[in-house]
Structure 1
Amino acid sequence: MQTTENSAAKTAESNLEQQLPENGSGCSMDYSNVHILNELNRDTDKLAEKLKDFIRDQVTVFKKKGVVLGVSGGVDSAVALTLCVQEFGKENVYGLLLPEKESAPSSKTLGAEICENLGVSYEEVPISPILEALDIYNKKEQIIKRTCPEYDPRVHKTSLVLPDFLNQGLLNVPYLRLIKDGETVARYRLKANDYLELIGLQGVKQRSRMVVQYMHAEKLNYVVCGTTNKTELVLGQFVKYGDGGVDLEPLADCYKTQIYALAKHLKVNEEIIKRPPSADTWSHYTTDEEFYWRMPMHVIDQLLYAQEHKLSLEITEKNTGLPRDTIEKAWKHIDRVKDTTEYIRAAPPVFYLER
């Protein structure tokens, strides 16, 4: 790995002014009457050009010939793929579809479709055999069965969710949900040890995908391009040495809201834009709003933006429409998430002998 996760974090912290000038001219901005969503959705054309310049510069630094991307059928990979094709040409970009047996069928369909629309060469490499060899599915099923007595894999789909923050506040207890014929039929709280084990098992999926991406990148003498956005980066919503273990992260200073604005500007398939964001690692398609964010995307992005720019409670209240006590609780929740995921963003400490 040539670029560790913390390099993306440093980019997000230091390059905002370069990628998205505060008032379009690089000058200081008056935030007293700021409309956050307008700020996140403007100057998308300029942002796209700066992202392409960044991609070009990094590939040049690495002295590589092109770019490999994992294409998931989601909006982040679609935007990254389109930017890479526009900058390098379709002949220097290679797409990988990396499904497993719990992936939604639409992931593969939409991923293949955008590769074909852009004229990008791509390959499907199912990772289920890797996961089966490591007994991931069986171990996961054992946890589900001891948590949910009536679970029957022939009947039920499953998902891991957290309480809606706007309705249940700081309560942060994960639970398993059983779905039958598209309807939730049971919910069970997870024990802490079972939750940690499940997270570890699920992380093997992203790490397996990254192994495959590097295998192809090294064969082609390409870089591996990441697709983590700023909302995910700030909240630690990626797997260390999984989807976070890449050579460059062009989207790491763009909030999820900005990714959707970029997708519209780049004319990404409308079906991808309308698809709810998800890690897509459970048999029932579970959105990021149900697990990671615990609130709508436009709300979490406005709260993160307000924190970043030190906006007052009054301005944040005006933008989000949330009561002040809810905003304060949300910021505390976000701070706690940042603290507990700091190790994910950090590079491994290196010991140096004194000289």
Structure 2
Amino acid sequence: MNREKIIDYIVAWLKEYAQNAGMKGFVVGVSGGIDSALTSTLCARTGLEVLCLEMPIHQSESQVTRAANHIGWLKTHHPNVRSEWINLTPVFDSLLGVLPDVDSEEERFMSLANTRARLRMTSLYYFAALEKYLVAGTGNKVEDFGVGFYTKYGDGGVDLSPIADLLKTEVYELARHLGIREEILNAPPTDGLWGDNRTDEDQIGASYPELEWAMAMDEQGKKAGDFEGREQEVFRIYKHLNTVNRHKMLPIPVCEIPDSLK
């Protein structure tokens, strides 16, 4: 992997896209995780304006600290970066107060997790419209095109996706090359949507390297019966998520009316 050339390519792509769109720069939601750290750093390297948003909603202290430390590091190296702290916890709680109760607490938690992501997307687009910025997505290839591990119209609601062709292990490789802080490199990946410390692996049941393996096997046309033990389990996890989340990865279906009916 030619890390420096890939970094230069992404940075040039970001800059050209923004300039062709007549936009001044980018807004990025910074969570304290590796994906948003890499995305914000790549945006900063364009030299265009970059606004980093911290948008906690009952967030764990460790995530908040990592996000703040990363933004501080970014500002030290890039004078084109600024930040805003938007505490969305009262907004989330107010919405929660007017929503009806449901029978299943698990379903309520899942719905509310996705609501957190959609509140953040709304905030990102507020600043994007205000400042003439593009919303830069932070999803990687495994999340966006493998298992669909993101919220539709939440963190999936973006203007462009600079790292969506990078596997998670490649994200780490580029982040390490760019000097992103060790506390972010060492933190277990988490979507931060639950208000606790559960990791992506806790939710998915497989690690990102395992999912990358399964994604490669699926692209080769392999089936679950081709594997045994843990490999078979991981492959089945991948195929299940790839199937049930397919609606996120395909264009919105349109009911096309036959000409004969018009």
> Would the TM-score normalized by the shorter structure come out above 0.5?
yes
In the alignment, structure 1 residue 291 sits paired with structure 2 residue 203:
yes
CA-atom RMSD, angstroms? 2.5
Aligned to 1:36: none
**Is the CA contact (8 Å cut-off) linking 2:117 and 2:193 kept in structure 1?**
no
The letter of the residue matching 1:272 is I
Q: What are the within-5 Å matches in structure 2 for residues 198-237 of structure 1?
A: 198-233=109-144, 234-237=146-149
- Given the alignment, which residue of 238, 249, 252 partners 1:334? 238
What one-letter code is carried by the residue in structure 2 that aligns with 1:266? L
User: Percent identity of the aligned residues?
Assistant: 28
Counterpart-to-counterpart distance in 1, 2:16 and 2:111: 35
| Aligned residues of 1:131 and 1:137 also touching (Cα < 8 A) | no
Q: Which residue of 1 aligns with 2:22?
A: 63
Alignment of 1:38-187 (within 5 A): 42-89=1-48, 92-101=49-58, 103-119=59-75, 120-135=81-96
Query: Which runs of no fewer than 5 residues in structure 2 stay unpaired?
Result: 76-80
- 1:272-319 per-position Cα deviation (integer Å, ceiling 9, x unaligned): 111111011223211111112x12332222222333355799xx9xxx
Selected match of 2:171 from 240, 256, 259 = 259
**Cross-structure match for 2:78:** none
The one-letter code matched in structure 2 to 1:231 is: V
Tell whether the 8 Å contact from 1:73 to 1:110 is kept in structure 2 after alignment. yes
In structure 2, C-alpha distance between the alignment counterparts of 1:253 and 1:275, rounded to whole Å: 22
Distance in 2 between residues matched to 1:136 and 1:70, nearest whole Å? 25
Match among 191, 200, 207 for residue 279 of structure 1: 191
- The amino acid that maps onto 1:256 is K
The runs of 5 or more residues in structure 1 that have no matched partner are: 1-41, 147-192, 317-322
Task: Give me the whole-angstrom Cα distance separating, in 1, the residues matched to 2:230 and 2:62.
Answer: 36
Check conservation: 1:235, 1:334, Cα contact below 8 A.
Answer: yes
- Between the aligned partners of 1:236 and 1:196, the Cα distance in structure 2 is 19
Does 1 or 2 have the higher relative contact order (CA < 8 Å, sep 6+)? 1
CA contact (8 A) 1:277 1:288 kept: yes
Whichever structure has more helix as a proportion of its residues is 2
Which digits, 9 at most, give the CA deviation of each residue in 1:2-54, with x for residues without a partner?
xxxxxxxxxxxxxxxxxxxxxxxxxxxxxxxxxxxxxxxx2222222222232
**Cα drift, residue 347 of structure 1:** 3.0
Aligned match of 1:244:
156
Q: Is contact 1:226–1:247 with CA below 8 Å preserved after alignment?
A: yes
For residues 124-179 of structure 1, the C-alpha deviation after alignment (integer angstroms, 9 at most, x for no partner) is: 0011121111116997xx77xx8xxxxxxxxxxxxxxxxxxxxxxxxxxxxxxxxx
